[in-house]
Each structure stands twice: as structure tokens, then as C-alpha cells.
Chains A and B, each alone.
Chain A
Amino acid sequence: MTIVYEDHDDDAATDIPVRRIKFRINGKKMVAEVETRLLLAHLIRRGLGLTGTHMGCDTTNCGACTVLVDGRAVKSCTMLAVQADGHEISTVEGLATASELHPLQEGFKEEHGLQCGFCTPGMMMAAKALLEENPDPTEEDVRWALSGNLCRCTGYQNIVKSVLWAAEKLRS
């Protein structure tokens, strides 16, 4: 896969540093040629067309771009795409199977955990990392784990309920 860039006259376009990387995305093996300054979020959204990962603030604050790298939640706007080399990336697209929603997705539906939905992919991925580490979290644990993700419309009440709903479903 090749990423095509606009060529700005002020940049030295003759010697653009590019690297070949191998990684897995939602279980699938991939190879990509990436410009070294490409961010992981850009690779996911533009390179792979997985637009479920959202870019919110672009300044490491909001958490909308959260994905899992080897199971750990990471803000993909604050990691270089080249750093994905050799690693396993999971995005919100990897949650559901062909026929079934992931319990987290069900939980957000059941408990009205979203309004506009912009922060939701990041919330779900951060919650997924939490539930893998701690399958039986308290409300406090959930609030703590999601404290790096901002929501500007629902308020956090229903998001927390959604995650607790999913935790219970996953345990049963």
C-alpha cells in the first residue's frame, strides 16, 4: 500500500524518507510503505480506509483516536505509523463479527452510551483494554480507565453504564 502526498514546494520533495512496515490490523497481516512522519491515525484512516478511528483534537487530549497496540490503549494521533512495525493494532472495526455486535457495542446501544458518536470508538477501545485487564470493574474503575477520553454531548453517566453492562455480559 502506498500513501500519496501533496508535494509542497517548500519541502525537499526529492528525498522523502519512507519505510516499509509489517503489522497486523484487526488480525489481518499488512505491509505498507509509509512516510516516516505519517501518524498511526493517518495510516489507519487514510491508508487502510478504517475511518471508525476518529481524529478529534489532534493534540493527545481527547482520546477519540484510541486504538489498541498489542492490547494496550494508545492515542493513535501520538504514535508514528512506522512504530506499528511488528505490532498488532486493533480498531473499533475489529469489535463486531459478521453477525454479532461486541458486548461493548451492545452495551452502548442498550444504555444509550452515545449521542453524536464521535468519541464512541475511542471510548470502546479504552473500555476493551480495561475489561481485558479487569473483567469485573467497579464504576470507579471504569471512570478512571476512561478519564483520558472526552465526550462533549452524552455526559459520562451512560457511557459508564454501557461499559458496566458489557462487563456483565462478558462475564456471563
Chain B
Amino acid sequence: MYPSRFRYEAPRSLDEAISLMHNGGDYVKVLAGGQSLVPLMKLRFASPELIVDINNVPGLAYHRTDPDGSLHIGALCRHADLERSDLLKTTQPTMASAAPLIADPIVRNRGTLVGSLCHADPQGDWASVVLALGGAVVAQGPRGTRAIPLADFVTGPFQNVLDPDEIVVEAVIPAARGIRSGGYLKLERRVGDFATVGVAVAVETVGENVTRAGIALTGVGGSTIGATAAADALVGRPLTAESVGQAAALAAEVARPRTDHRGSAEYKRHMVRTFVQRILSRAEAAQERAA
């Protein structure tokens, strides 16, 4: 399969890339890892006039913690970089458990977290993880730079609020106010398939009490679902079998699964509950060991 014809530019600076986006016509797409965009172009679901390949722009492949404790992931940081990251293993349990579950190992060598967020596939795993962690993306364009919380970034399937000449240069995970725990669990029929059900849980605790919690669901609705009420049920008290059970039930309640070839709606809803429970029970056990 061939994509439709397009003009191709591979700028060597961000300014040049933004100027190409600004002057590039009606339908311009940024190419980073290309693991979603290229298949879409081959299927002719996307037929951009101009591709701005940012792979030659230096200084975007990073992921690092800033002095204020926030985590920054550059637009060219590949899934594989995150999978192999000691920084994530020691400081970001939810992200570290999600990274090896994205697509398959070969796709992870090229695909990027930022690209995945921009692609805004309702089945995307990273969107749930970043939403649960209260993260944001930083967009840069001719009019400057702005941070957009992920909750406001995605407006629908494959749609985001970016202006046509803006490029997302990084994703940001805010600093933890307590000790982080949590994880990402994904039910898939085989490696590389979209999630039948995915659940991201991110919890922060100070002393015994949970100070912040986020829960988000993949594959059980028309978009990534933020299970706010479920997360709120955890905050302000220690993790107990009771609070965990409540959060799991509330998360299952906001899921909007549909019966399809991956499973029945009832089964998927049940798995949401099970996954929330499983992740939080592990977090609870880890806390008890620490105490």
C-alpha cells in the first residue's frame, strides 16, 4: 500500500519546523515515530499535503526529571527509551508498568509517547496513563508556547485542540506530592493488539493517607475515560480493602464498554473492576511492607 503523494520536509530546528507548519498549507502533519501516522496514510485515512519530519530536530529525545520534581518527555523520546528507563522504574511506577505494554517491541523502537498522545486514539494506552497522573502537553507555535492539560487536550477520537501550526514538544508529568504507587494493566488478545481493557492507576501517599489519586480507562468507551469519582474515593484516607473496593466499583460504573470481537460489555466492565482492585491491592501491600 502506498500513501497519497505528499511533500516532505525534514527541518533541523524547531523554529524551522514551526515555520513549515505555519506556511505549509491546509493539511500538514508532523511525523515523529510514524507508527500510527504511516499506517493511516497507507490506508488513506490520512492524506496530508505536507509531512514535517521532526526526526532531525536535535534535543527532543530526552526524558528527565526537573529540579522541581516534574517529569518531562520530549517529542522524540521513544516507547523503548521509556521501557528501558531506570528513572521511570525508580520514580514512576504507573509509567514504568505501561511502557512494556505499548504495541510490540519493534513498534516501541520508533513510536513516541508524545506522538501517541497527539494521535488521540481512544484506544491509546499512554493517554490513560498521562490522564491518571494529571499530566499535560506543551505545544509550541508561531504565537508562543502553551501547556495544555491532557484532560483538555483530546476533544474526540483522533482529535485534539492543537492549532494547525502548533507542535507538541513535550509531555509533562507534575511532581509527586507524596510517595507514588500504582500501575497500568492491559488485557490484550495478543501482543500488539489494542487493549480489550486497560486501566491506569496513579496514587500518591503521605504517611498513611492518600493525597492524590488518578484512575483512567482504555478501550471501554468512545474515548479515554477519567474515573474521577473512583479516584476521589481513595483520597484523604489510607488504602484499605474497603476504599479499594469502592474505587473499583466506581471505576466499573463509569466504563462504557461495547460488546465486540474482543469481548462482551459485561466482561470488560468486570475486568475494569478487577484491574483497579489488582493494582491498588499491590500498592496497599507495598505500603504495608514499607511501614
Give chain A's interface residues, CB within 8 Å of chain B: 11-12, 16-17, 19, 35-39, 58-61, 63, 66, 72-75, 77-80, 82-83, 85, 126, 144-149
Q: B163 an interface residue at 8 Å Cβ cutoff?
A: no
Say yes or no: B7 contacts A78, CB within 8 Å: no
Q: B6 an interface residue at 8 Å Cβ cutoff?
A: yes
Task: Jot down 20 A-B pairs with beta carbons below 8 A, ordered by A.
Answer: A11-B5, A36-B6, A36-B7, A37-B4, A37-B5, A38-B2, A59-B42, A66-B106, A72-B80, A73-B105, A75-B106, A78-B39, A78-B107, A78-B110, A80-B38, A82-B8, A146-B105, A147-B105, A148-B107, A148-B191
- Chain B residue numbers with a CB within 8 Å of A148 are 103-107, 191-192
What 16 additional pairs, Cβ within 8 angstroms, besides A36-B51, A80-B8?
Answer: A17-B6, A36-B7, A37-B4, A37-B6, A37-B41, A39-B2, A39-B42, A63-B106, A66-B106, A72-B80, A74-B106, A78-B110, A80-B53, A83-B53, A83-B55, A126-B106
Instruction: Identify whether the interface residues of B are mostly helix, strand, loop, or mixed.
Output: loop
Given contact pairs A78-B110, A79-B38, A12 touches B105 in the complex (Cβ within 8 A)? no
Chain B, range 226-260, C-beta contacts under 8 Å to A: none
Chain B, range 7-26, C-beta contacts under 8 Å to A: 7-8, 10
Q: B35 an interface residue at 8 Å Cβ cutoff?
A: yes
Minimum CB distance partner of B84 in chain A: A133
Say yes or no: A59 contacts B39, CB within 8 Å: yes
> Could you say which of A58, A63, A79, A82 contacts B104, with CB atoms under 8 Å apart?
A63
Once bound together, how far apart are the Cα atoms of A30 and B76, in whole Å? 26
Once bound together, how far apart are the Cα atoms of A72 and B42, in whole Å? 23
Say yes or no: A17 contacts B8, CB within 8 Å: yes
Q: B109 an interface residue at 8 Å Cβ cutoff?
A: yes
Given contact pairs A58-B1, A78-B38, A147-B191, A19 touches B8 in the complex (Cβ within 8 A)? yes
- Chain B residue numbers with a CB within 8 Å of A73 are 105-106, 109
Q: B149 an interface residue at 8 Å Cβ cutoff?
A: no
Q: How large is the interface on B (under 10, 10 to 19, 20 to 34, 35 or more residues)?
A: 20 to 34
Q: B174 an interface residue at 8 Å Cβ cutoff?
A: no
Q: B34 an interface residue at 8 Å Cβ cutoff?
A: yes
Q: B3 an interface residue at 8 Å Cβ cutoff?
A: yes
- Chain B residue numbers with a CB within 8 Å of A19 are 8
> Could you say which of A16, A39, A74, A146 contacts B5, with CB atoms under 8 Å apart?
A16
- Chain A residue numbers with a CB within 8 Å of B8 are 17, 19, 36, 80, 82
Say yes or no: A78 contacts B34, CB within 8 Å: yes
- Chain B residue numbers with a CB within 8 Å of A72 are 80, 109-110
Minimum CB distance partner of A68 in chain B: B109
Once bound together, how far apart are the Cα atoms of A38 and B3, in whole Å? 8
Once bound together, how far apart are the Cα atoms of A39 and B55, in whole Å? 16
Say yes or no: B5 contacts A12, CB within 8 Å: yes
Say yes or no: A60 contacts B51, CB within 8 Å: no
Once bound together, how far apart are the Cα atoms of A24 and B154, in whole Å? 40
Q: Would you give the shortest CB distance from A21 to chain B, in whole angstroms?
A: 10
- Residue from the set B3, B4, B31, B107 with the largest chain A CB neighbour count within 10 Å: B107
Once bound together, how far apart are the Cα atoms of A147 and B5, in whole Å? 33
Q: Would you give the shortest CB distance from A33 to chain B, in whole angstroms?
A: 13
Once bound together, how far apart are the Cα atoms of A33 and B80, in whole Å? 31
